A and B are shown apart, each in its own frame.
Chain A
Amino acid sequence: MTAMSVPGDDASQPSRRRTRALLAKLAPLGFLFALVVAFSLLNPNFLDPDNLFNVMRQVSITGLIALGMTFVILTGGIDLSVGSILALAGITAAIVAKGGTAGSLSLDEGAQAGAPWYAALATALAVGALCGGAQGIAITRLKVPPFVATLGGLSAFRGLTLWVSGAAPISGFDPSVLWWGQGTIGPVPAPVILFLVAAVVCHVILSQTRYGRQIYAVGGNQEAAHLVGIANDRIVVSVYVIVGALAGLAGFILMGRLNTAEAIAGNGYELTVIAAVVIGGTSLFGGSGSVAGTMIGAVLIGVMVNGLVLMNVSSYIQQVIVGLMIVAAVAFDRFVASLRE
């Protein structure tokens, strides 16, 4: 060592950085664990399997959409319209399942011979994908910022849902439709299985495929992505199609679970969904994040809400807490980013 060497410059700093980065990554998981411990101590019913499945069933609906939202946010975008897409997809799927026009169905309680469940499911997926695609095109072709394009969608798709349904709920579905929300495989609720399968698929797409690489590229540096020959616009449109389709699937599941499709379904879901993604450590600036993080974020919110319910905390206060959690998560993300440089 000569007098030129700077102490602590070379060896120690990268390792300290790595430790910090690891801590930042594990923070949401640690927080989730702490919540579970705290709630189980405060209320013995919390760890009851029925309650846990109930939590997971709730988580799976917003969680499915959050998986798609992860793709969107990774590209540096945002989708505020997912709740409205969920409702529109649910209503149109309901109409198909009941086999008739909206007006004649609205108050009909009896199961009525309509199209089979898979036609209704396909409708929900297609409507969701279409809505997402339309917004993707507005964003890429018309150069409308994602925030504005999907804020428009939030209002337009909700309005469309109300108009199509005449604002009246549609209920009374075939058991094959209900299974998607109420059924179980073994002891595990069907929506939970669906959510887990979708999560694995999304994880594999992001981490193992060319398409996944391109998503990170577009969000990481749009100009550089363009200059390595990536068709940015196509990637951007595709992520909105994916989140739309997943919102459609969530709408179908919700309809099965409640045995009702209503125009107000999914109202405000965008907040929970975005919160799950952000709490899971995906950067709102794009280019970094993961499906695993989103899973943790989604479960964390579910556990938090459930625990608060068990503790008889007002649902209004729950909203306050979810709101604060989003802000805290982003502040934390920024803080971690500031440690990097």
Chain B
Amino acid sequence: MDANGYRLVAENLTKRYFGAVALVDVSLTIRAGGIHGLLGENGAGKSTLLKIISGVHRPDSGRVLWEGQPVEIWSPRAAGALGIAMIHQELNLVQDLSVAENVFIRREPTTRLGLIDWSALRRMTRELLDRAGIDLDPRALVRELSIAEQQMVEIARALSTNARLLIMDEPTSSLPERESNRLLELMTTLGKSGISILFVTHRMAEALAVCDRFTVLRDGRLAGVAARAEVSAERLISMMAGREANVLYKRSSKSHTIGAVRLAVEDIRTHPIRGRRGAQVRGVSLSVHAGEILGLAGLVGAGRSELARAIFGADRRVSGRILLDGEPVDIRTPRDAMRLGVVLAPEDRKRQSLFPNLGVRANFAMAALDRFSRFAWMQKGTEARELDRFRLALRIRMSGADQPARRLSGGNQQKVILARWLVRKPKVLIVDEPTRGVDVAAKSEVHTLLDQLAAEGVAVIVISSELPELMSIADRIVTLREGVVTGETPGPEATSEGLMTLMTLGA
């Protein structure tokens, strides 16, 4: 602890990734003891800041003081040695070992023969858990614990290494309310006992309930620092969203006319999916018109992608009706959806869209093999001609039709994926994060393209984490929070603040 009672002081941190600025001149002061909330939209720079403090990345400039001493945090190990522990979202526990074994993994007390001293191990764990106020049986198997309890095991492990700063990145995002209350209670207790906690959350209510101080980031910069007593939810949201979002994109034409309802979904519900942090659709109804761009806004875990996948038939639905042009349709697989003219360009290009080793042409044709073949034979000439048409229209830069897709830049990959779907002439186009990892020039080209498609009468649903993007291209924005619709805003009337409120507080 330094003279002012600060455990960690980070000054003027700046970090660039391959030229793109992720963090600019951000400072952070964390007191000894208590919970410090770190807030910001997706992409505001929270992860980068956490990674610097926990030793995953090094800042390009700026310095970090730990308990009054300037330190270089070279690696997560170095962070651990100082007393900084990251509690990961993906838990780093061995599922088939007991709580005690996990807490003291690789540091197990041994007998003189070099075997594990089980009674000492259990005793040490018991003492540690009691001291921290964690109610768990040291002998319980981790596999049988709830997610919140598993996080408590991680916390116990951190405490056993004498960690004094715990970094918790959305620990409650995948927890049901009761579980998350248990975890928050434990965090509060620890904070009072002198442990510092840096807490990232999207849930405004819980942030206000447990945090003593806040740091808010926006677009990689410091947007504000405040003590609990000085702020309200509205104040924090306006810090996160910014007074006036700078509009980067302008719709090329607002001239297109919006037609009849093309796609309507009613009461869509999905199964929770393991590993996707609890994101689940819990009864969503919405519709999109021909010629309309509908924006879907929501924070991580709001269920936007899950909703898109459910409509497209990529995941099984628990319930829900889908109507296309007023007629109920049966979509169970992506094939069904594609046959009906409903297509989805998913969010994770590498994992969900690209065939990295196949050529651009094969990647392009993959969703329309039926149209590019005659009696099972691929019509390579037709493929090449169509690809060329899209290459010119979308300005795809490639060295040749057989260039492996992994060699293209992110923007060009995205254009190939969009071309893959457009060649099917869809009635409904759902694009999930269409400009993620895409350079600025390609970004505006994608926006123009979506606009043109709407003008041609396609019903477009755009999912994006960038509110300015949605505000500039969408005719209407539907906000989701924890799997339910929390509001609907006409595009021209939308403000970042208004949307953020609906995304974080709406019910």
A residues near B (Cβ < 8 Å) are 14, 208-214, 216-217, 220-221, 223-231, 287-288
Contacts and interface: CB of A to CB of B under 8 A. Distances in A.
Contact of B420 (A210, A212, A228): A228
Contacts of B334: 226-229
Q: Which label, helix, strand, loop or mixed, suits the secondary structure of the A interface?
A: helix
B367 to A, nearest CB: 4
Contact of A217 (B351, B355, B407): B355
Given A224-B351, A227-B334, 13 more contacts: A210-B370, A210-B378, A216-B358, A217-B358, A220-B356, A220-B358, A221-B351, A221-B353, A224-B352, A224-B353, A225-B366, A226-B334, A231-B333
A208 B373 CA distance: 10
A229 B378 CA distance: 17
B357 A223 contact: no
A213 B378 contact: yes
Contact of A209 (B362, B366, B367, B373): B373
Interface in B439-475: none
Nearest to B355: A220
B355 A209 contact: no
Contact of A210 (B337, B338, B369, B399): B369
Contact of A228 (B367, B377, B378, B407): B367
Contacts of B203: none
A66 B365 CA distance: 29
A216 B399 CA distance: 22
Contacts of B335: 229, 231
25 contacts: A208-B377, A209-B376, A210-B370, A212-B378, A213-B369, A213-B378, A216-B355, A217-B358, A220-B356, A223-B351, A224-B352, A224-B354, A225-B355, A227-B314, A227-B344, A227-B346, A227-B352, A227-B353, A228-B366, A229-B334, A229-B367, A231-B335, A287-B355, A287-B357, A288-B357
B358 A210 contact: no
A287 B366 CA distance: 14
Nearest to A289: B357
Contacts of B344: 227
A255 B64 CA distance: 77
A209 B378 contact: yes
Contacts of B370: 210
Q: Which label, helix, strand, loop or mixed, suits the secondary structure of the B interface?
A: mixed
A214 B367 CA distance: 10
Nearest to B404: A340
Given A223-B351, A229-B333, A287-B357, A14 B399 contact: yes
A228 B356 CA distance: 15
Interface of B: 312, 314, 333-335, 337-338, 344, 346, 351-358, 362, 365-367, 369-370, 372-373, 376-378, 399, 407, 420
B348 to A, nearest CB: 9
A307 to B, nearest CB: 34
Nearest to A287: B357
Contacts of B358: 216-217, 220, 287
Q: List the 5 closest pairs (A to B, CB-CB), nearest first.
A: A220-B355, A228-B367, A229-B335, A210-B373, A229-B334
Contacts of B352: 223-224, 227
A213 B373 CA distance: 11
A224 B378 contact: no
Nearest to A288: B357
A211 B367 contact: no
Contacts of B407: 14
Contacts of A287: 355-358
Contacts of B373: 209-210
A213 B366 contact: yes
Given A14-B399, A213-B365, A221-B354, A226 B378 contact: no
A217 B356 CA distance: 10
A336 to B, nearest CB: 12
A288 B369 CA distance: 19
Contacts of B365: 213
B439 to A, nearest CB: 16
A216 B377 CA distance: 15
Given A213-B369, A228-B334, A229-B367, A221 B346 contact: no
A213 B354 contact: no
Nearest to A18: B399
A216 B335 CA distance: 18
Contact of B366 (A211, A212, A217, A223): A217
A211 B334 CA distance: 18
A213 B369 CA distance: 8
A288 B362 CA distance: 13
A286 B320 CA distance: 37
Contacts of B314: 226-227
B344 to A, nearest CB: 7
A221 B376 contact: no
A221 B372 CA distance: 20
A334 B388 CA distance: 34
Nearest to B351: A223
Nearest to B374: A210
Contacts of A221: 351, 353-356
A87 to B, nearest CB: 33
Most buried by A among B337, B365, B366: B366
Contacts of B357: 220, 287-288
Nearest to A221: B355
Contacts of A217: 355, 358, 366
